[in-house]
DNA sequence: TTGACACATTCCCATATGGGAATGTATTGT
DNA sequence: ACAATACATTCCCATATGGGAATGTGTCAA
């Protein structure tokens, strides 16, 4: 296959940083495309394309006024995302203690022993990228 | 450019549906890869690759026990996502009334007038896809 | 040491991407 | 009717993807 389409669902749509910026920007007020372009410092076609994606998944609404198109964030569409993350909330509350344990084990292991391979995290893997 | 890497941040990592399934599955208990493969019905290399992505962005931790690798969701890493969506929570509360307005405007416009172009949503665009 | 087991990595490939540049389209003012 | 304005779409392209298949690697048991 390949990666899923950006328009396949809300998760894919908000994966793009500029689209999140746009959503933030349009949350308070509706805005014409030109203002988004100026405020976020992006190229106009780029903004139009991002808006198209957001529109397709229902993350924004549009309204035409003369030659201008006013976009606005449809916050309601973000709820599924919020709810998915929420199911993990109770876990990170319970895990705070385990984070400490891990930190302690790590500082012990790195004193003079072998490299610590338990509980690897991003930084431990970065070496394989350079 | 192209799309951002799946490992570039948490947002991109969770865009993939199976990775979300894996995170759900590993939230309660740590599990060896084999069990993930059996439970979710995915190919083993596929699972390993997904786990690698999740590991790089810190969404899971690993622990080795003999030949088996026990993975577990690191819920803490989901918080940024949760917090981003949370900033919109107050908006969808305030917007519930506007949704009704829109629905009413739409039913009025489609009675006998021109096609309604205000507040387009996903379904209005689907025609352009077929 | 060897074979089996549990995973990880690599190779191949069709596909969607986002940016830049160019062009198309709808609406307004004159 | 025409130029200007405000967006939208298209084309080109380097790039990362996820799946399938094959292969590599580390660990244990005998």
Nearest chain A CA: its distance from B41 CA (Å): 17
For residue A98, count other CB atoms closer than 10 A to its CB: 14
What CA–CA distances, in Å, run from A55 to A9, A102, B22, B79, B124? 11, 43, 29, 26, 10
A-chain residues within 8 Å CB-CB of B62? 118-120
Q: Cβ contact (<8 Å) for A20 and B74?
A: no
Q: Write down the pLDDT at residue B109.
A: 37
From CA A119, how far away is CA A116, in angstroms rounded?
Answer: 8
Scan for tokens 């009675």, then name that residue. Answer: B111
Tell me the CATH number for domain B10-75.
Answer: 1.10.10.10
Q: Write down the pLDDT at residue A95.
A: 73
- Walking along chain B (130 residues) 10 residues at a time, the average pLDDT comes out as 93 98 97 98 97 98 97 97 96 73 45 34 40
| Tokens at A81, concatenated | 């995302």
pLDDT band at A99 (very low <50, low <70, confident <90, very high): low
- Counting residues of chain A whose pLDDT is more than 90, the rounded percentage is 68
Measured CA to C1', what is the nucleotide nearest A3?
D17
B64-100 burial: b if 16+ Cβ within 10 Å, else e: eeeeebbbbbbbbbbeebbebbeebeebbeebeeeee
Among residues B88, B51, B73, B50, which one has the least CA distance to residue A89?
B73
Instruction: Answer with the residue of higher pLDDT: A129 or B25.
Output: B25
The counts of H helices and E strands in chain A are 7, 3
Scan for tokens 């876990």, then name that residue. Answer: A91
Q: Cβ contact (<8 Å) for B73 and A91?
A: yes
pLDDT in tens, A13-62: 999 999 999 999 999 999 999 999 999 999 999 999 999 999 999 999 99
The residue ranges of DSSP E strands in chain B, in sequence order, are: 31-32, 60-65, 68-73
**Structural domain boundaries in chain B:** 10-75
B48 touches chain A (CB under 8 A): no
Question: How big, in percent rounded to 5, are the helix, strand and coil portions of chain A?
Answer: 60, 10, 30
Dmax (CA) of chain B = 72
Burial of residue A9 (number of CB atoms within 10 Å: 0-12, 13-18, 19+): middle
């Amino acid at each position: 296959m390949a990666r899923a389409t950006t328009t396949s669902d809300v998760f894919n749509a908000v994966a793009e940083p500029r689209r999140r910026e746009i959503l933030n920007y349009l949350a308070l007020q509706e805005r014409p495309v030109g203002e988004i372009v100026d405020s976020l410092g992006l190229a106009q076609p780029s903004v139009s394309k991002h808006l198209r994606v957001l529109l397709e998944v229902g993350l924004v609404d549009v309204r035409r006024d003369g030659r201008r198109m006013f976009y606005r964030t449809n916050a309601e569409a973000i709820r599924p995302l919020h709810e998915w993350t929420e199911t993990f909330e109770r876990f990170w509350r319970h895990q705070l203690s385990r984070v400490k344990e891990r930190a302690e084990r790590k500082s012990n292991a790195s004193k003079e022993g072998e490299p610590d391979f338990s509980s690897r995290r991003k930084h431990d893997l970065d070496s394989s990228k350079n």
